[in-house]
C-alpha cells in the first residue's frame, strides 16, 4: 500500500477554516476548534497542514501537562528554547509571536486542563496569533462552557465519519484498486466511520485482491474479509 494523503471533505473543511483564522486581523478573535471521534483523521490532517504551511507550529498535548511543560514545548518547536518557568516561556512566546505569519496547532487538546487553555488564550490575546485546538468531542463541550474562551472561537470544524467517496479515493490512490460503490458502503459500515480501522481493512483487502489477481473490488470480496477484531471464544472446560 502506498503512503498517500487523501484530500477528504474533512481535510478541505479544515483548510478552509484555518485560512480564515490565519488572515484574522490582530485584536480580533482567531481561535479554531477541530473536533471529532478518535480515528477520523484529525491528527494526520493537522500534521499535513503544519508541513504545508510556513509558520505553522504543531504540538501534541500530553496527559497531565503542566502550563510550564506546555509552554516550554511550544517554545522548543518554535525556536529550540526550553524555558524553565511559566512567566519566562510566556514572555518568549509573546515576543516571538508578536510578528505575523505564525499559527499554532495543539493536537489532543481535550487532554489539556482549562488552565493551560487560558494560557493559550492569553498568548492569542497578546499577539493575535491564530490557534487551532484539535481533539475529541469532550473538547467542544468544555470550551463552550467557558464563555471568555468560546467567544474567541470563530471557526469550528467537525471531523465527520468516513464517507463512501473517501473509501473509493483511498482505494485508487493507495492500493490501485477500483472499489465499487456497494463495496465502498460495505467498508464504511465495517470501519464504523474510522479512518484508522479503514486502513487496516484496506491492507487486508489489497492482500486478498493481489492473491486473486483482482483490480476491482465488489461487495462479495469485502464481505469475505476476516474479522480480526473479534475476541476468540474461550475453550469450554472438559
pLDDT in tens, 162-203: 999 999 999 999 999 999 999 999 999 999 989 999 999 999
Residue 51 makes CB contacts below 8 A (sequence gap 6+) with: none
CA atoms within 13 A on the CB side of 64: 0
Angle at 165 between CA 159 and CA 170, to 5 degrees: 85
* DSSP assigned state of 94: H
Check whether 88 has a pLDDT greater than 70: yes
pLDDT at 89: 94
Q: Which CATH class for the 164-223 domain?
A: mainly alpha
pLDDT at 229: 55
Distance in angstroms (rounded) separating the CA atoms of residues 126 and 114: 18
Query: Which CATH fold topology does 9-158 show?
Result: Rossmann fold (3.40.50)
pLDDT at 233: 52
Domain assignments of the chain as residue spans, ordered by start = 9-158, 164-223
Record the pTM.
Answer: 0.88
Same fold for the pair 9-158 and 164-223:
no
Is residue 61 within 8 A of residue 106, CB to CB? The reply is yes
Is residue 40 within 8 A of residue 160, CB to CB? The reply is yes
pLDDT at 234: 53
Amino acid at each position: 500500500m502506498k503512503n498517500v494523503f487523501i484530500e477528504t471533505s474533512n481535510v478541505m473543511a479544515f483548510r478552509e477554516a484555518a485560512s480564515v483564522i490565519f488572515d484574522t486581523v490582530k485584536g480580533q478573535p482567531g481561535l479554531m476548534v477541530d473536533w471529532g471521534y478518535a480515528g477520523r483523521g484529525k491528527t494526520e490532517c493537522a500534521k499535513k497542514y503544519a508541513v504545508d504551511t510556513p509558520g505553522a507550529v504543531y504540538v501534541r498535548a500530553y496527559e497531565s501537562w503542566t502550563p510550564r511543560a506546555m509552554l516550554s514545548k511550544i517554545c522548543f518547536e518554535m525556536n529550540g528554547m526550553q524555558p524553565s518557568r511559566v512567566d519566562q516561556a510566556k514572555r518568549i512566546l509573546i515576543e516571538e509571536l508578536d510578528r505575523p505569519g505564525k499559527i499554532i496547532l495543539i493536537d489532543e487538546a481535550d487532554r489539556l486542563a482549562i488552565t493551560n487553555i487560558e494560557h493559550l488564550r492569553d498568548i492569542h490575546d497578546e499577539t493575535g496569533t491564530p490557534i487551532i485546538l484539535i481533539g475529541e468531542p469532550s473538547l467542544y463541550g468544555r470550551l463552550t462552557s467557558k464563555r471568555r474562551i468560546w467567544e474567541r472561537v470563530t471557526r469550528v470544524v467537525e471531523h465527520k465519519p468516513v464517507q463512501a467517496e473517501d473509501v473509493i479515493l483511498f482505494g485508487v490512490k493507495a492500493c490501485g484498486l477500483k472499489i465499487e460503490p456497494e463495496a465502498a458502503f460495505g467498508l464504511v459500515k465495517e470501519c464504523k466511520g474510522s479512518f484508522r480501522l479503514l486502513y487496516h481493512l484496506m491492507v487486508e483487502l489489497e492482500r486478498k485482491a493481489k492473491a486473486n489477481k483482482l483490480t476491482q473490488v465488489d461487495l462479495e470480496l469485502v464481505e469475505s474479509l476476516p474479522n480480526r477484531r473479534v475476541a476468540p471464544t474461550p475453550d469450554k472446560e472438559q
